[in-house]
Structure 1
Amino acid sequence: MPGRGSSAPKSAPRGPAALRRDRLRKDRDGDLAMDVAVKGRAARVGKSSPVPTGPRSEGSARSSRGGLLSTGAQRAILKHAGAGDIAMKESRSSQSRGNLELRISNWTKNKASSNPDGGLSSLLSWLEKKASTRLSSRARTVKIKKSRKDGDDVVISVPAEDVGALLRLDGYMWAGINVSVKRLTGDGKTAETNDATEKTRNMLKGVLERRYNADAKLLDFSQLASDPELQQEAVFNSKSTASKFFPAMMVVLDKAFDSVKDRDAAVQSVSLANNELADLKVVSSLSEFLPQLKNLDLSNNKFEKLDQLVLWRKRFHHLDQLVLSGNPIEQADPTFATTIIQWFPKLRTLNGIQVRTDEEIAKRAEAGAIPFPLRSASFQDEGGIVVEFVKNFILGFDTDRSALAKHYYDDKSDFSYAVNTSAPRDPAASEAEKGDWGDYIKNSRNLKKTSHPGARQHRLFRGTQAISDVFNGLPKTKHPDLAAEARKYMIEAHIQPGVPDLTGQSLSGVDGFMITMHGEFDEVDATTGQSKKKRSFDRTIVIGPSVPGSPSQVRVVNDILTIRAYGGAQAFDPDNFEDWTTTAPPNTDNIPQFPAGVTLEMAEQMVIELQKQTRMTIGYAKDCLEQVSWDFARAVQAFESVKGNLPADAFVAA
């Protein structure tokens, strides 16, 4: 199942302004970072404007007692948020109509109290301005309809759809004091919210909105651990909670928008400066939720080597500016810039220095253009890795299979093939041609016809020599030219997470590619080179990073070939698509079916998470989830009950 992952093949599959504040500013949006504040100014990208601070801790940071995340149950909310359980869109259909009242307390002893009205008009203007700063598709201008004094408090009346935006200001600092904002019930009493999920949602939403600069389209996540509100909630007091915080915040960000287009248009720059980051694991989800990012600031962290940045190796294809200044890698690896520039093909500026011109980027795009037309719009590639592999693979299979096996396959590579004798034949053919499968049947691993476990295992080939031998036992072939006869192919490629990392650095695996090819070939006479019979084929190949010293940058992890009678190429022609779908309904046996409420994207994430928790292979994790109808909790329970009986190959090799 293709999905979003991290890291990539070998050199492939293995920063937003650097804003600095030495102290918090009152009633201003300041930089609040993920660990101790780091002094020094880094290269800047885009505009830099302050963001309103959240609730200020009194004296030193308060303990977690009384905080939103002070209990194990509340911390678990972040985990659920990271899995997509928090709904953030402020749907008007779910809100009551009319105006609601809020009570504003603890405001009288403010710096504007010398004004004739005691600072009331300034308070109301501030509330409207801050509540109107929303990071969502439904941004709107908040207007307070009415206000009245009630003792030392102020009661305001606002439209129901604006209540949530104002309640998020509870505890924010205005004119030197922390203002209290509470909802009133029908009898005029203060309504206290005990829903931990709502509190956590509002806290995460508040962090995002305080740190968003709409003019610069910038999310400033610098110095997160110094953020008073996050200190108050003890978010970074434990590794468990800290690791869940950023993914949960990304989910909240995603759900704040009605569409991916709205989200990408609103956020084009991100700063992660001054966060004591030594790798990208905690913040890796940024590339999943903001893949179109143009400006990224990673300055003043603890990156020492490229391996600590490789999770974003195949991400951010539109990255224009990157800041890495203030990291140890500048001294530890003098050549790091060369590699970084190769990683991001559209990068113009690195650490404030121009590394490419517009002309160079245009030439690179032209040079990296796919050299053969593809019969599919679903083709993910980076740096031409898949294109190069497909070209070399088809040529090698036709000319020198032993050399092909040595180049791309190793002792952990798997290969199997199967003959499909019942596949549809070419509809244009006047009569059915005999199959003549004698050269294939011996090692065919058609699981519908081969049920004995021993036979199935015997027909799965592992290792360079075994694969080379079985390759050479198959009839010689001649595939159509990729450039001249592209209409005879359908080729797709998807990023494949969880590919085993042979270096052992990542237990959860790295990113590779899943390549699917549908096409045809001619069987040719080994002596004369003349065509004997035309066949159709389907081939699925998973490639991943090779180990240092290998003849290729990528290795074949798994290769599955299906050979069938010639079925023509009409299915690949868009002009004939309608005819084929009406006369020959497509086979849906292999289309994944999910229960209501579970999407393909959710299923992919469940597979990845189950694999991380259990160390099972992708295949076993998927099978486990399918058996419990994609109920993640039941899948974990099922694994615990049978893990002692699972074979060794059910787990990712250590």
Structure 2
Amino acid sequence: MSYRGRGRGGGYNNQYNNRNNFSQQAVDDFVQQNSVGVEILGWNGASPEECINFISRKCKIVVSNHSVEPNTGILKGYVKSMNQANDLLNWSGVKFAGQSLRITKAASADSFSSKMGVSNPNTGNAIEALSHFLKSRYQPEIKLLNLSAVKQDPTVNAGGFFNSNSTSSKFFPALMKVATDLKLDVVSVDLSGNELQDLSTVSTLAQTFPTLQNLSLVNNNFSRVKSFEIWKNKLNYLRELLLVGNPINDGANGNGNVKIDLMKIFPRLVVLNGEIIRNEQALKINLTFPFGTPASMFFQDEEIQNMAPNFIANYFKLWDSNRSELMILYQNESQFSMQVDSSHPHLIETNANASYASGTDFGYYIPQSRNLTRVSSAKVRASRVATGPEAIFKLFSQLPKTRHDLMTKPELFSMESYRYPQLGGIMITIHGSFEEVAQPDNLDALNTNGPRGRFNNNKKKIPLSKKSFDRTFVVIPGPNGGMIVASDLLSVRNFSGTDAWNMSDRSVSAPASNVPTPQSTTPVPGAGAPGAPGAPTPTTADLPPEIKSSFNQIQQEVLVKILLETKLNLQYGVMLCEQSNWDYQQCTINFKNSVATLPREAYL
């Protein structure tokens, strides 16, 4: 074979020119096909350009060709790949210009139609058909989405969505994707008359409408309660379920007690086939975390305030009753570790809690404690991190059974929760106490793993006692609208009361001092003793002259408010305000973060 002549003559040059033109077109096509659209809300505290620049700096992801949709105010743009889009979604919730950005992937007409298998040259027809169908079936006045007898609908038939098994299986997930994009406010869904035998084809309903309250599955083919387990821990707000016209109501299919089984799957189910099956008022009390002491709670925003307490209330209810049911929250990458703090500073003081301190035994906890000040071996440190559901449950079963009085005595607990934008989730930290009510289930594993001689040869029963704890969860979104615990850290210590966050406890327990109070720690004149009957409420007029001359009227008002709420003396009150730039909200946050380390002389 001869290579002579290659690169010469017009033939090659023409081919090169054609190839060059083709390559440019191919590049343009490639860029277009590999650009993933993203949509951003909550940016309008600044300009679109400032938002895009912020994302570039903060998230290290470039959003190109951005524009603002006039009707909706959505900021749209493109990133280079699906991986970048997924990474950017993890930053949804990050603060920008005083607001939280909400970042989602934009719907793609081309990919959508190809996934649906609709052979229509107009790639937007599939989305348009589904959008038209949803809008015609949605009743906004009662927030009802009527999806009954879908196959008989003329719009669906004209679109060819049920021409084959492959397109039929993709229809409902695609429908839910369009419903998400339309942002329909749905409380009730009617799925009657759709020949459903199980929930496999409609499972994404729980992801699209996680707060759904009413659902009709009338005149389908459900025959087993087990069919509904796919929605366990997902439709947690479902109140009413209609199953009339299904074989499951016949009672001859080995279903046992259908009502009880369905109540286990749907924790807020009250009405089944028109019959009230449990007391709704009592149910709300049991499933709602009572905010009896708002001063001891902090939440970054209203969404977290709705999410975190319910998660904590349900988590500890299962922790105290059946820890195996918590395993659905842990995935293969989830981690749990526990550490014992046996030298808490509170124990140095001799007070009413000393009886707890003197009799506390941490024998059940020490074998798996990962206290980094006590455990120096890298190998041991690594071995005491449980990763994955199996290892985590094994460690759970080695800890004593407990009782947390979250629902009956919320004042015994303090909680704070923030967004965790790196994973698109939230961080929840709760402080409080628990009663040990029984020894661990898995004593054999505990004895095997414990230090030699500590458990193996000691048959003495370890006494149970009341203990304080701190626990931090990192909770991230899971599949189908569920939640996943990515990280779980538990610290156990001697019982130390609620002085750290309960102001009334602190003022009562603070010992009287015979030492004269220096001028720098003089309380506000006219304030009287905290809580004393008839004590006048101090105002800015009661502040010492040197304070009035140093600070303006607004600063004086902030100072008086802080002194009243924190019971700090004048010196520490001024210090707190100055370090918080005289911002009242920041003062309360800084006080909460440092209250456990303040000396007694900081208070009146």
The TM-score by the shorter chain falls in which range?
0.3 to 0.5
Higher relative helix content: 2
**Whose relative contact order is higher, 1 or 2, with alpha carbons under 8 Å and at least 6 apart?**
1
Larger Rg: 2
TM-score (norm 2): 0.41
TM-score (norm 1): 0.39
